[in-house]
Amino acid sequence: MSKKVRVRFAPSPTGGLHLGGVRTVLYNYLFAKKHGGDFIVRIEDTDQNRYVAGAEEYIFDTLKWCGLEPDESVQHGGAFGPYRQSERKESYRQYAEQLVKEGYAYYAFDTPEELEKMRQTPIATGNKTEHGHTQQYDHSIRMKMRNSLALTTAETQKMLAEGTKHVIRIKVPEKETVSFTDMIRGEVSFDTSTVDDKVLLKADGMPTYHLAVVVDDFLMKISHAFRGEEWLPSAPVHILLWKYLFGLENMPQWAHFPLILGPNGKLSKRDGAKYGFPVFAMRWNDPKTGELTEGFKEKGFLPEAFINLLALLGWNDGTEQEIFSKKELIEKFSMDRVHSAGAKFDYEKAKWFNHEWIKRFEVSNLRFEVGELLKQDGFVVSNEAFLDKVIALVKDRCVLLTDFVQQSSFFFKTPEVLDIDAIKPKWNEAKQLFFAELIRNYELSSGWDAHTLENNFKEIAAVNDLKPGELMLPFRIMLVGGKFGPGVFDIAEMLGKEETIKRITMAIKVFQ
């Protein structure tokens, strides 16, 4: 019987969730849902120096906004809890001790000063003499350090009995090859001679990431462990731990997702400010620095567009299709179509996705967000049916949700400034008379629909021997304030008789 698919996203709660992190969530989620499996979120908070207040809640808020809700987590519960590693502290020591007993790990009593001295030691081994490399705690030096391999058993026992501060390190074998099959990269091999003896259990009794990730993936019955490429160098340590603790046949299948590249290489969290686009999914308020960083949400992205564009950053379905709903992504996603090469992030393309989604969205799905944005900017939006009509008229022109405010503000408020410069040079007596007549005509008009308004407009122009084309722009600027917006007669219809006539009257006084 094949194992139930259980995947996990295992963030350290240290800050905002960036594009790469959300894409890792997304691919995990899609894979789980496609295979009828579970998507688990495990909070990896064993490094207490890096703990950031609010970061954990932020992660869940982000997943909620993206529509990628976990099946099991700190917030969602589940049968494999606790889902916060700091609360599992007691479960790790026994595994570390087991490794020591079986000769795969050892106690190390070195003080920070001794470790510093070790790092300064000139490197003796052949393949690491390059300039710039510091000595690592590995096979080449471990017998010269203060640990249970170098000391006698009696010395070690005495130090342990006296409560001497110590860590437990993995004993990485020399000159062995560690291999595993990555679902994206195929066979990946490492020479263990280049891997250091990583700390597994810290002096405060907390596990390091390396031990915790393996123990928890085992205890939580994780079937597939997917994460970003930046974790690939840690894989040999994890494979060795799997081999020593649980046997390789129980190990999850691995995949390491490609990096997301910015304009100048790897996209870092800092890049957003530099390039003028967000890197976080949602606004992150760093409690340590007080720095507030806007995310895709605040920029005006729809979550549907956001996950769609992220899905395509490293994957495609082999066709030209680019717009995918979450349902379609679940159906079509497959790990063998995830690329191993870095995926370039293009903000213009990201905006294209959003525009496509706004165009496809039903008005009723945009109503709440757009209404809120308008209210935030001080517009009074009291009539839902009117708001719906406005949205329907302008949505094709909005790339970001925030564009709705600029594209529709004139429906809610008489423009304060008119782009007079666009009109004034070509303004003349004939146009002045035309609009005066248009006011009279519109005042008497019994119907108030775009079609009638347009016909009347054109008739008056024809009678006066004027080209309607030359009158449209002034008309638009009178109603809107500038050279933008949907069809001008649609706008007039929406504004209603009184408001339209008021705006024309005010404007011709200014143009005169």
Work out how close the CB of 137 gets to ligand GLU at its nearest, in angstroms, rounded to a whole number. Answer: 22
Work out how close the CB of 114 gets to ligand GLU at its nearest, in angstroms, rounded to a whole number. Answer: 29
Cα–Cα distance for residue pair 97/147, rounded to 1 Å: 14
Non-local CB neighbours of 97 within 8 Å, separated by 6+ positions: 168
Q: Is 198 in the site for ligand GLU (CB under 6 A)?
A: no
- What residues does 57 pair with on adjacent strands? none
Q: At what angle do helices 19-34 and 55-66 cross, to 10 degrees?
A: 60
Q: Is 182 in the site for ligand GLU (CB under 6 A)?
A: no
Ramachandran quadrant class, 318 (left: phi over 0; alpha: psi -120 to 50; beta: rest): left
Cα–Cα distance for residue pair 279/86, rounded to 1 Å: 28
Instruction: Give the residue with the Cβ less far from ligand GLU, 254 or 411.
Output: 254
Instruction: Give the residue with the Cβ less far from ligand GLU, 11 or 486.
Output: 11
Work out how close the CB of 90 gets to ligand GLU at its nearest, in angstroms, rounded to a whole number. Answer: 20
Instruction: Give the residue with the Cβ less far from ligand GLU, 8 or 476.
Output: 8
* Stretch binding ligand GLU (CB under 6 A), from 6-14, 104-112, 252-260, 267-275: 6-14
User: Which residue of the chain is nearest ligand GLU when measured via CB?
Assistant: 227
Non-local CB neighbours of 376 within 8 Å, separated by 6+ positions: none
Per-residue b or e along 10-45, where b marks 16 or more CB atoms closer than 10 Å to that residue's CB: bbbbebbbbbbbbbbbbbbbbbbbbbebbbbbbbbb
Work out how close the CB of 98 gets to ligand GLU at its nearest, in angstroms, rounded to a whole number. Answer: 21
Which of 145, 206, 213, 370 touches ligand GLU (CB under 6 A)? 213
Q: Is 44 in the site for ligand GLU (CB under 6 A)?
A: yes
Catalytic, 269? Answer: yes
Instruction: Give the residue with the Cβ less far from ligand GLU, 231 or 404.
Output: 231
Question: How many CA atoms lie within 13 Å of 73's alpha carbon, on the beta-carbon side?
Answer: 24
Q: Is 6 in the site for ligand GLU (CB under 6 A)?
A: no
Contacting ligand GLU within 228-267 (CB under 6 A)? 231
Q: Is 10 in the site for ligand GLU (CB under 6 A)?
A: yes
Work out how close the CB of 222 gets to ligand GLU at its nearest, in angstroms, rounded to a whole number. Answer: 10
Which of 5, 11, 28, 169 touches ligand GLU (CB under 6 A)? 11
Instruction: Give the residue with the Cβ less far from ligand GLU, 237 or 461.
Output: 237
CB atoms within 10 A of CB 272: 21
3-state helix, strand, coil in the chain (%, to 5): 50, 10, 35
Cα–Cα distance for residue pair 67/69, rounded to 1 Å: 6
Q: Are strands 167-170 and 199-201 parallel, antiparallel or unpaired?
A: antiparallel
Work out how close the CB of 21 gets to ligand GLU at its nearest, in angstroms, rounded to a whole number. Answer: 7
Number of residues counted as binding ligand GLU (CB under 6 A): 8
The two tokens of residue 36 are 């009828």
Question: Cα-flanking dihedrals φ and ψ of residue 302, to 5°?
Answer: -85, 140
Q: Determine which one of 269, 389, 497, 502 is catalytic.
A: 269
Q: Is 333 in the site for ligand GLU (CB under 6 A)?
A: no
Q: Which residue has the tokens 């009678």?
A: 463
Work out how close the CB of 13 gets to ligand GLU at its nearest, in angstroms, rounded to a whole number. Answer: 9
Instruction: Give the residue with the Cβ less far from ligand GLU, 66 or 478.
Output: 66
Cα–Cα distance for residue pair 18/280, rounded to 1 Å: 4
The distance from CA 93 to its chain's CA centroid, rounded to whole angstroms, is: 35
Q: Is 293 in the site for ligand GLU (CB under 6 A)?
A: no
Q: Is 227 in the site for ligand GLU (CB under 6 A)?
A: yes
Instruction: Give the residue with the Cβ less far from ligand GLU, 43 or 391.
Output: 43
CB atoms within 10 A of CB 462: 11
* Stretch binding ligand GLU (CB under 6 A), from 9-17, 342-350, 466-474, 493-501: 9-17
Which of 209, 296, 411, 489 touches ligand GLU (CB under 6 A)? 209
Q: Which residue has the tokens 């004139």?
A: 410
Q: Which residue has the tokens 């049968």?
A: 79
Instruction: Give the residue with the Cβ less far from ligand GLU, 252 or 474.
Output: 252
* Stretch binding ligand GLU (CB under 6 A), from 7-15, 64-72, 285-293, 335-343: 7-15
Per-residue b or e along 280-312, where b marks 16 or more CB atoms closer than 10 Å to that residue's CB: bbbbbeeeeeeeebbbbbebbbbbbbbbbbbbb
Q: Say if CB 159 and CB 109 are below 8 A apart.
A: yes
Work out how close the CB of 44 gets to ligand GLU at its nearest, in angstroms, rounded to a whole number. Answer: 4
Instruction: Give the residue with the Cβ less far from ligand GLU, 8 or 283.
Output: 8
Cα–Cα distance for residue pair 173/104, rounded to 1 Å: 9
Q: Is 12 in the site for ligand GLU (CB under 6 A)?
A: yes
Work out how close the CB of 6 gets to ligand GLU at its nearest, in angstroms, rounded to a whole number. Answer: 14
* Residues labelled catalytic: 269
Q: Where do contacts with ligand GLU occur on this chain (CB under 6 A)? A: 10-12, 44, 209, 213, 227, 231
